[in-house]
Chains A and B, each alone.
Chain A
């Protein structure tokens, strides 16, 4: 957890990880989404609809730090729903995606410090070629 908690607004550390190994840690206020915090920090993450319908902004939760553990364990199935609060319904994700830790960064605000896989390749994991 980072930033002062003045009783109204607090922030959580979200560490963004790209496939090439690059990382950036952002303080995400609890009234903003990961995407908004990234934009504020000048980090360009992919997005499309901004309403939770398209999946372009999809990230994957790698670890969530609840209550000060080291946060390196792989998240449990339900953890992604505990780790983020959604501003709208995440319509672009099916149950199997949420069970696998996928999260829509355009509408999700972290409720814990966390590490998230980001970049356009994450969204392409949602579906595969059904015939190949």
Chain B
């Protein structure tokens, strides 16, 4: 179902048993059944850190194969200032509020990772969204927080943003809460619960939230320095929170094999206490779950080996920078950005992931290095899956300063968005070579592209109460 106008496209209003008045879908299976094929994507697009004199923007990409502008950027919502580093973003409401009458999935909360500026975009007209509200960095710094990252809604219409640093860009980070008028409500958690922060996900029926760790902004902003790893300046812990109280109940140190845990996801079924986190530097996937005693546990479940390359002095780590779980909780998808690989694992038994398929594309080792004659310049990075689990899309930029270190050509040529067709029945992936969106063609100059969202919910937005 659609939560707002799609600019003329009226989506079929399926009858379904669990009547709900609010945004989203009654269950993950309802999202699969009722969600239409994604016809638009919103994609974070960046000029920060380049010599292009233009602000970052949100790209609206046409994904409708029947459209004349298929694979084109059909609208750009420019930010008011330069220098934001648009990175991750989220909706004001998702399926976790599907019981809340009158609430709509309508506003995108778009933080500037470097600027600490928060933008609110009104996407009532899905094809022509408009910037509505801006919260300036100075207002954010007043709460001694900076570097906004993950945005999720809280089930009653409020919004929670993970913040990676204090006002100076040092530790500790924390969480900033916005109210449903998009004003800062305050800090969500009592001070001192965590030092490092990054991504988070919550499972309200289990009264749990899990958060991961990158580093202090002053550490990761300028680029990746191995000295910082040796000095212990990068994270390797998971924090399990009491969701109602906003307090950390348990912290798990993932150890040497769990360095830089980034994207963290619970399964979609609201009953589950299982989830996965990708540890980017160690290039492993950890499975976590609540055991019989009520404690959370984490165990390495997938190990991506470093590979030798004749041009590199040291073995090249995969750099597992993004993961997601299909809406039916059957597959874990992910990207190894440095190797140049997207993969899918069968996680129908979450403790024993089974490799289903992978594609070798872009990056250091990818078999496919160009699509439609366009050089890819970087590996697969942020991924997004259709609600029905049949189409996987990805972009190629990680973070402006880190891109410059590992794939300097990407800044000069811009990012691309690619797509693979997924056969969930047979567990296979196939690159769709007819699909290419090229940020090298943007009017102001080549841009980077990062996180992707669909207009009506996706596998990395929606949570169920």
Instruction: Please state if A56 and B223 are interface contacts (CB–CB under 8 Å).
Output: no
Closest to A89 in B: B168
A57 to chain B, nearest CB (A): 9
Q: Verify if A24 is at the interface (C-beta below 8 Å from B).
A: no
Given contacts A49-B116, A53-B169, contact A123 B217 (CB under 8 A): no
Of B44-52, B202-210, B258-266, the one with at least 4 CB within 8 A of chain A: B44-52
Select A120's contact among B51, B170, B406, beta carbons within 8 Å: B51
Instruction: Please state if B169 and A51 are interface contacts (CB–CB under 8 Å).
Output: yes
Residues on the B chain within 8 Å of A58, using CB: 222
User: How many residues on A have C-beta within 8 angstroms of the other chain's C-beta atoms?
Assistant: 30
B429 to chain A, nearest CB (A): 27
A132 to chain B, nearest CB (A): 5
Given contacts A50-B115, A124-B405, A127-B224, contact A91 B146 (CB under 8 A): no
Given contacts A55-B401, A124-B404, contact A130 B169 (CB under 8 A): no
Instruction: Please state if A127 and B222 are interface contacts (CB–CB under 8 Å).
Output: yes
A16 to chain B, nearest CB (A): 12
Instruction: Please state if B168 and A123 are interface contacts (CB–CB under 8 Å).
Output: no
Q: What sequence of 0s and 1s flags, for each residue 95-132 of chain A, a beta carbon within 8 Å of any chain B beta carbon?
A: 00000000000000000000000011001101111111
Of B22-30, B312-320, B354-362, the one with at least 4 CB within 8 A of chain A: B312-320
Instruction: Please state if A48 and B85 are interface contacts (CB–CB under 8 Å).
Output: yes
Closest to A56 in B: B49
B134 to chain A, nearest CB (A): 15
Select A53's contact among B84, B165, B225, B317, beta carbons within 8 Å: B165
Select B49's contact among A48, A91, A128, beta carbons within 8 Å: A48
Total of A-B residue pairs, C-beta within 8 Å: 115
Instruction: Please state if B217 and A53 are interface contacts (CB–CB under 8 Å).
Output: yes
Instruction: Please state if B146 and A51 are interface contacts (CB–CB under 8 Å).
Output: yes
Q: How far is the CA of A15 from the CA of B197 in the complex (A)?
A: 40
A50 to chain B, nearest CB (A): 7
Q: Verify if B20 is at the interface (C-beta below 8 Å from A).
A: no
Given contacts A127-B222, A130-B226, contact A56 B48 (CB under 8 A): yes
Q: What sequence of 0s and 1s flags, for each residue 399-410 of chain B, a beta carbon within 8 Å of any chain A beta carbon?
A: 011001110100
For chain A residues 26-65, which have a beta carbon within 8 Å of chain B?
44, 46-56, 58
Q: What sequence of 0s and 1s flags, for each residue 5-16 of chain A, a beta carbon within 8 Å of any chain B beta carbon?
A: 000000000000
Instruction: Please state if B49 and A46 are interface contacts (CB–CB under 8 Å).
Output: yes
Q: Verify if A87 is at the interface (C-beta below 8 Å from B).
A: no
Q: Verify if B53 is at the interface (C-beta below 8 Å from A).
A: yes
Q: How far is the CA of A128 from the CA of B114 in the complex (A)?
A: 20
Q: Verify if A92 is at the interface (C-beta below 8 Å from B).
A: yes
Select A44's contact among B49, B82, B165, beta carbons within 8 Å: B82
Q: Verify if B137 is at the interface (C-beta below 8 Å from A).
A: yes
Q: How far is the CA of A50 from the CA of B225 in the complex (A)?
A: 21
Q: How far is the CA of A47 from the CA of B50 in the complex (A)?
A: 9
Interface of B toward A, CB cutoff 8 Å: 48-51, 53, 82-85, 114-116, 137, 141, 146, 165, 167-170, 217-218, 221-227, 311-317, 400-401, 404-406, 408, 411
Closest 7 CB pairs of A and B: A53-B169, A127-B223, A48-B114, A55-B222, A54-B221, A44-B53, A91-B218
Interface of A toward B, CB cutoff 8 Å: 44, 46-56, 58, 88-89, 91-94, 119-120, 123-124, 126-132
